[in-house]
């Protein structure tokens, strides 16, 4: 028996039912009792929990995936009964109106190794099933037959490719390398599912069937397809949020002091172009009159209120619906703010895309069933009392997220300020903010609701127009990564602003940001200096290092990092209204020599080249300003202009503003150049320097003004830094030659056998060198010895001269080099060194190692970072450099350009380039080492730490003298395998 979904990604919205499922035939019989390599099989419920995943379908809806269990028998029968006759035919190669009990038992009882089945679940019902079964019973099979089927009413959502991705990932874990499938010839679109996933297919025809085979190892083509589909589905899910055709406000209240009333009022006042439905009825335990006042970040419940509900409520006690008598004694208003109100979402006669929820935290879960029945796609929960309130609230938040995803929806919040879309065709203000900016080209994402209100007010005062805004509150689901996916292709957004309290999935953030930054500047402020994790805030040195790492890693992805909200908007103003500088050459023109000098010093400190500072004098006329700026715009040796205009005496500012605008738009200008100013110390866009758009807001070509010359210069340096990053050639991540990832995976899998979730394995020097060898990283030959005779024999085998070294961390890397004896020319010297070091260090095991060419000691390491995931660092080796923290950091994976830049990152890097007449080291060899270690960690996420120290870099290459690897469970697989929500 088999299951297959034959929908293709390109045609998923137009396939008919008879095109949306296929079948293969698989061997019959009871489940095997052994694994592919002969070990006992797993118990019926004993499967790896990381196989469970929430995934996004192509329409942006959430689907829950998990392995099948025997308890699914009734669900499988019900699922089969809902399939159309055509779908059953394609599944079984013939009519199968019912499933015999034996077949149901076989489907639901698998060993999770040789036979694996996963189900896609929505609202408690199975909507798709995928299966693979190992082929061959002698020895360890390499091939498995794969199949899947999707319910008719869920075909066209891309679930077939998703099942295929996850089955392939599971099969690879279990040692399989190839999938096979039998497809009916009348279903050619099934083959397209495999082909469009990026697999290289081999096909053979046998009358009515097509036999397909393909390798399941991840390739660049597979990853490219996966990322493209992920981008499309996540962007679609955010579009469902920001571009709804209808909105329901659950918890709408007639009391203007209540949160539900404020939300409804803002949606109405914003001019939302679709229908708005207030929901205020006892069936949802929602009574807006009983809700508490608005808190700092969301809706606060009235703890004296009495509520009744149903479904997945969070309340501590039993829940019930109100009786007809109770409803008559507590009638709900027929309308709220003049709009007809409904008792439940299900009572609304028309479709609802977005539900904004403002009910007490303990009953938020009670609205989910109705939202599922109604087909609501997205929830915005402004209610507080969740993760921000303590451990109990965090547990409630986890339950809420689980239930939301089980219902197929996305969640903004809880504890959110809300969302807004200024597109005139949408005009959505579903926030609690009393004031939001007008339409513009800037997208903004933040978490804190209270801070979001201040941010929106600041943006409005500075006349920074927003395209879209999301305040995610506790960010249980929708995150900045999701918004980046949406803004990447959103034609109404030119600039992205992020106020981040954490990076969520750091690997994914880096990957997405690197792509988005190529076309749109991303400006991010990380809340708090050194505020990467709460546990590390108290450690000043760690906080300082965190800031350095954040700056390096964000710069790698092209993200402009700033320290304050003021800087965030300073950058937004120049990016939204001015072109990028072509180069660093800057001319400063002003009417104050002191302020001009301040601007020049700041500009030089940020990497700009100040070619000239012109002081026009305190009484400079508008004609003099216009002439000076016009000349600068026409000069091909000038890339940017900074105008300081803060006159000490009264002047006609309007005339100076017109003169500056005229000069900026001079027909003699040598191409577009950015202009920034300190016009009367105004922040934002002064009226005279505004180029108004259709809605009266400033558009591109307006000249931004800053409160001080330093801030103007800093904004200009940020623009130059970003322009320089954009000019970098695109350097794709690629796999170095000479790697054997499968051998390394098998070794790691065996080493990790039996390791608990919180445990790790520190590999020895020999095992570490073995893994590195599979990635083309040779460690200078060495032997572990325990006696003087072994030491002498090892030295003869390796060839003189050799070194004898201590193995304990206490004696490695010492400045006095007491832990090693070098350049030993013969066996006698080796025996003497062995005896001395053994007595000195007490190490029972010593190393005898062949001498490497002399060089400069360097170190490459990979470590786990709570904020950014796996980070690779490079620097010079030794305790002095460790003490100074002189390291460069980058996120994994590395591109060749990333690796080359990482070598130059440490302040001591000039020592590698021929300092003081010394010959430069082989940079290509160091770059190759960085790329190979990056590839190793990217391929095998169980490799949690790598330390290669020292690496002797010389003109003739780079020799690794010592390496150690630590293995451990993967913290999250959200960006290391098949698509899934983090």
Please, what is the angle between helix 765-774 and helix 741-751, to 10°? 150
Residue 487: pLDDT band with limits 50, 70, 90 = very high
Q: Read off the DSSP letter of residue 919.
A: P
pLDDT value for 410: 96
Residue 757 tokens, joined? 């979730």
Q: What dihedral do alpha carbons 357, 358, 360, 364 form, nearest 10°?
A: 0
Q: What is the spatial distance between Cα 571 and Cα 597, in angstroms, rounded to a whole number? A: 22
- Residue 689 near residue 657 (C-beta atoms within 8 A): yes
Taking the alpha carbons at both ends of the chain, their separation in whole angstroms is 33
State whether 622 and 748 are in the same domain: no
- Residue 689 near residue 703 (C-beta atoms within 8 A): yes
Q: How many residues does the chain have?
A: 982
State whether 906 and 963 are in the same domain: yes
Ordered DSSP codes for 20-88: S-B------SSPPSB-TTSPBPPPTT---GGG-EEEE-TTS-EEEEEE--GGGHHHHHHHHHHS-HHHH
pLDDT value for 549: 84
Residue 332: pLDDT band with limits 50, 70, 90 = low
Stretch 915-938: mean pLDDT, rounded?
Answer: 94
Q: Is the pLDDT of residue 81 over 70?
A: yes
- Kindly provide the b/e burial profile for residues 275-297, where b requires at least 16 CB atoms within 10 angstroms of the residue's own CB: ebbbbbbbbbbbbbbbbbebbeb
Number of structural domains in the chain: 5
Q: Is the pLDDT of residue 935 over 50?
A: yes
Q: What is the spatial distance between Cα 780 and Cα 960, in angstroms, rounded to a whole number? A: 6
Residue 964: pLDDT band with limits 50, 70, 90 = very high
Stretch 532-560: mean pLDDT, rounded?
Answer: 64
Ordered DSSP codes for 557-613: TT-EEESSHHHHHHHHHHHHHSPPPSSSEEEEEES-HHHHHHHHHHHHHTT-EEEEE
Query: pTM for this structure?
Result: 0.86
More confident residue, 617 or 31: 617
Residue 569 falls inside a structural domain: no
Q: Average model confidence (pLDDT) for the chain?
A: 86
- Residue 820 near residue 794 (C-beta atoms within 8 A): no
State whether 298 and 413 are in the same domain: yes
Q: Is the pLDDT of residue 609 over 90?
A: yes
pLDDT value for 113: 92
CATH number at residue 38: 3.40.630.30
Cis peptide, bond prior to residue 905, ω within 30 of zero: no
Q: Read off the DSSP letter of residue 649.
A: S
pLDDT value for 534: 34
- Residue 590 near residue 645 (C-beta atoms within 8 A): yes
CATH number at residue 262: 3.40.50.720
Residue 309 tokens, joined? 């509900």
More confident residue, 215 or 650: 215
* Range 190-195 contact pairs with CB under 8 angstroms and sequence separation of 24 or more: 190/4, 190/6, 190/22, 192/8, 192/10, 193/5, 193/6, 193/7, 193/8, 193/9, 193/160, 193/161, 193/164, 194/164
Stretch 46-59: mean pLDDT, rounded?
Answer: 92
State whether 719 and 750 are in the same domain: no
How much helix, strand and coil, in percent to the nearest 5, is found in the chain? 35, 20, 40
Taking the CB of residue 351, how many other CB atoms lie within 10 A of it? 13
State whether 712 and 612 are in the same domain: yes
Q: Give the rounded percent of residues in the chain with a pLDDT score beyond 90.
A: 64
pLDDT value for 653: 87
pLDDT value for 3: 35
State whether 685 and 775 are in the same domain: no
Q: Is the pLDDT of residue 842 over 70?
A: yes
pLDDT, tens only, 333-365: 588 998 999 999 999 999 999 999 999 888 887
pLDDT value for 94: 75
Residue 888 falls inside a structural domain: yes
State whether 271 and 198 are in the same domain: no
CATH number at residue 804: 3.30.1490.20
Q: Read off the DSSP letter of residue 323.
A: P
pLDDT, tens only, 675-714: 999 999 999 999 999 999 998 999 999 999 999 999 999 9
**133-142, 153-162, 365-374, 760-769: least confidently modelled range:** 133-142
Residue 353 falls inside a structural domain: yes
State whether 898 and 829 are in the same domain: no
Domain C-terminal end among 851, 885, 910: 851
Residue 166: pLDDT band with limits 50, 70, 90 = very high
Q: What is the spatial distance between Cα 268 and Cα 810, in angstroms, rounded to a whole number? A: 69
Q: Is the pLDDT of residue 370 over 90?
A: no
Residue 5 falls inside a structural domain: no
pLDDT value for 773: 97
Which strand (E) or helix (H) includes residue 142? Answer: none
Q: What is the spatial distance between Cα 238 and Cα 452, in angstroms, rounded to a whole number? A: 19
CATH number at residue 931: 3.30.470.20
State whether 592 and 613 are in the same domain: yes
Q: What are phi and psi of 803, to 5 degrees?
A: -125, 145
Residue 551: pLDDT band with limits 50, 70, 90 = confident
CATH number at residue 649: 3.40.50.261
Domain C-terminal end among 801, 835, 851: 851
pLDDT, tens only, 246-279: 999 999 988 888 999 999 999 999 999 999 999 9
Which strand (E) or helix (H) includes residue 500? Answer: strand 495-500
Residue 499 falls inside a structural domain: no
State whether 317 and 448 are in the same domain: yes
State whether 752 and 820 are in the same domain: no
Residue 517 falls inside a structural domain: no
Domain C-terminal end among 165, 186, 217: 217
Residue 628 falls inside a structural domain: yes
Range of the domain at 903: 733-780+854-982
pLDDT value for 589: 97
User: Which residues make beta-bridge pairs with 804?
Assistant: 821, 848
Give, in order, the Cα–Cα distances in Å from 490 to each of 228, 442, 484, 487, 497: 15, 11, 10, 5, 14
**319-323, 612-616, 737-741, 836-840: least confidently modelled range:** 319-323
State whether 43 and 178 are in the same domain: yes
Stretch 567-578: mean pLDDT, rounded?
Answer: 97
Dihedral sign computed on CA atoms, order 102, 108, 110, 116: positive
Q: Is the pLDDT of residue 716 over 70?
A: yes
pLDDT, tens only, 396-412: 999 999 999 999 999 99
Stretch 735-755: mean pLDDT, rounded?
Answer: 89
pLDDT value for 476: 93
Please, what is the angle between helix 506-516 and helix 540-556, to 10°? 40
- Residue 690 near residue 702 (C-beta atoms within 8 A): yes
Burial of 624 (0-12, 13-18, 19+ CB in 10 A): middle
Among residues 467, 463, 459, 501, the alpha carbon closest in space to that of 483 is found at 467
Residue 974: pLDDT band with limits 50, 70, 90 = low
- Residue 543 near residue 508 (C-beta atoms within 8 A): no
Residue 2 falls inside a structural domain: no
Q: Quote the distance between the C-alpha of residue 764 and its chain's center.
A: 33
- Residue 383 near residue 414 (C-beta atoms within 8 A): yes
Stretch 382-399: mean pLDDT, rounded?
Answer: 91
């Amino acid at each position: 028996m088999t299951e297959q979904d034959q929908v293709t990604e390109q045609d998923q919205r137009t396939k008919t039912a008879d095109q949306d499922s296929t079948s293969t035939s698989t061997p019959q019989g009871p489940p095997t009792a052994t694994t592919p390599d002969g070990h006992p099989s797993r118990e019926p419920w004993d499967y790896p929990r990381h196989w469970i995943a929430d995934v996004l379908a192509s329409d942006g809806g959430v689907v829950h995936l998990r392995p099948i269990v025997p308890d699914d028998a009734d669900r499988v029968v019900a699922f089969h009964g809902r399939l159309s006759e055509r779908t059953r035919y394609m599944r079984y190669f013939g009519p199968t109106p019912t499933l015999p009990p034996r077949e149901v038992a076989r489907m639901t009882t698998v060993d999770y190794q040789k036979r694996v089945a996963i189900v896609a679940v929505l609202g408690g019902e199975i909507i798709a099933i995928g299966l693979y079964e190992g082929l061959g019973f002698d020895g360890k099979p390499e091939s498995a037959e794969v199949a899947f089927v999707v319910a008719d009413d869920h075909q066209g959502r891309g679930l077939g490719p998703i099942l295929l991705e996850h089955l392939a990932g599971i099969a690879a874990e279990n040692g399989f390398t190839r999938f096979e499938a039998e497809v009916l010839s009348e279903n050619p679109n099934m083959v397209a599912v495999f082909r469009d996933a990026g697999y290289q297919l081999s096909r053979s025809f046998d009358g009515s069937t097509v036999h397909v085979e393909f390798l399941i190892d991840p390739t660049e083509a597979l990853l490219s397809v996966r990322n493209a589909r992920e981008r499309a589905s996540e962007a679609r899910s955010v579009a469902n949020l920001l571009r709804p055709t209808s909105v329901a406000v659950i918890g709408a209240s007639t009391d203007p002091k209540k949160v539900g009333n404020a939300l409804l009022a803002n949606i109405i006042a914003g001019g939302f172009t679709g229908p708005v439905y207030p929901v205020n009825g006892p069936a949802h335990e929602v009574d807006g009159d009983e809700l508490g006042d608005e808190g700092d970040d969301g809706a606060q419940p009235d703890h004296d209120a009495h509520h009744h509900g149903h479904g997945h409520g969070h309340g501590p006690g039993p829940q019930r619906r109100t009786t007809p008598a109770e409803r008559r004694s507590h009638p709900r208003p027929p309308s709220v703010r003049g709009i007809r109100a409904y008792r439940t979402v299900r009572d609304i006669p028309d479709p609802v895309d977005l539900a904004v929820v403002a009910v007490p935290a303990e009953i938020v879960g009670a609205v989910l069933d109705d939202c599922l029945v109604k087909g609501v796609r997205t929830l915005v929960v402004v209610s507080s009392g969740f993760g921000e309130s303590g451990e109990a609230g965090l547990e409630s938040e986890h339950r809420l997220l689980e239930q939301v995803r089980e219902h197929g929806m996305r969640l903004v919040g809880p504890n959110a300020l809300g969302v807004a879309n200024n597109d005139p065709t949408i005009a959505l203000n579903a926030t609690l903010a009393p004031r939001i900016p007008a339409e513009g080209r800037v997208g903004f994402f933040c978490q804190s609701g209270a801070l979001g209100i201040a941010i929106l007010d600041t943006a409005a005062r500075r006349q920074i127009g927003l395209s879209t805004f999301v305040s995610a509150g506790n960010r249980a689901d929708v995150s900045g990564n999701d918004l980046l996916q949406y803004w990447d292709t959103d034609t109404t957004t030119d600039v992205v602003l992020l106020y981040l309290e954490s990076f969520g999935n750091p690997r994914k953030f880096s990957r997405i940001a690197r792509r988005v930054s190529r076309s749109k500047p991303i400006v991010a402020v990380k809340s708090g200096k050194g505020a990467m994790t709460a546990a590390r805030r108290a450690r000043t040195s760690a906080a300082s290092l965190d800031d350095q790492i954040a700056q390096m890693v964000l710069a790698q992805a092209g993200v402009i990092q700033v320290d304050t909200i003021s800087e965030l908007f300073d950058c937004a103003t120049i990016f939204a209204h001015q072109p990028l500088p072509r180069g660093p050459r800057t001319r400063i023109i002003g009417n104050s020599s002191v302020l001009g000098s301040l601007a020049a010093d700041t500009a030089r400190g940020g990497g700009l080249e100040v070619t000239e500072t012109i002081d026009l004098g305190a009484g400079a006329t508008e004609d003099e300003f216009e002439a000076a700026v016009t000349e600068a715009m026409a000069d091909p040796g000038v890339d940017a202009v900074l105008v300081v205009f803060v006159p000490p005496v009264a002047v006609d500012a309007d005339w100076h503003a017109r003169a500056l605008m005229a000069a900026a738009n001079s027909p003699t200008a040598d191409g577009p150049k950015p202009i920034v100013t300190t016009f009367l110390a105004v922040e934002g866009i002064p009226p005279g320097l505004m180029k108004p758009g259709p809605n009266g807001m400033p558009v591109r070509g307006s000249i931004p003004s800053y409160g001080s010359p330093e801030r103007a210069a800093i904004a200009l340096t940020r623009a130059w830094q970003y322009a320089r990053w954009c000019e970098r050639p695109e350097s794709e991540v690629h796999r170095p030659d000479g790697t054997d990832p499968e051998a390394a995976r098998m070794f790691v899998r065996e080493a990790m056998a039996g390791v608990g979730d919180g445990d790790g394995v520190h590999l020895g020097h020999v095992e570490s060198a073995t893994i590195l060898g599979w990635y083309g990283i040779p460690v200078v030959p060495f032997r572990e010895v325990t006696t003087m005779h072994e030491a002498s024999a090892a030295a003869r085998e390796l060839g003189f001269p050799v070194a004898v070294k201590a193995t304990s961390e206490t004696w490695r890397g010492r400045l006095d080099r007491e832990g090693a004896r070098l350049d030993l020319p013969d066996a006698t010297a080796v025996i003497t060194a062995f005896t001395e070091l053994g007595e000195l260090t007490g190490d029972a095991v010593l190393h005898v190692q062949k001498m490497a060419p002399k060089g400069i000691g360097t170190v490459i390491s990979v470590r786990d970072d709570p904020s950014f995931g796996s980070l690779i660092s490079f620097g010079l080796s030794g305790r002095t450099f460790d003490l100074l923290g002189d390291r460069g950091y980058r996120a994994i994976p590395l591109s060749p350009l990333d690796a080359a830049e990482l070598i130059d990152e440490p302040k001591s890097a000039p020592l590698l380039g021929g300092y003081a007449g010394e010959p430069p080291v082989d940079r290509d060899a160091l770059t190759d080492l960085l790329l190979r270690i990056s590839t190793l960690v990217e391929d095998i996420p169980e490799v949690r730490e790598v330390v290669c120290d020292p690496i002797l870099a010389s003109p003739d290459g780079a020799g690794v003298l010592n390496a150690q690897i630590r293995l451990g469970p993967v913290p999250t697989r959200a960006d290391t395998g098949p698509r899934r929500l983090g």
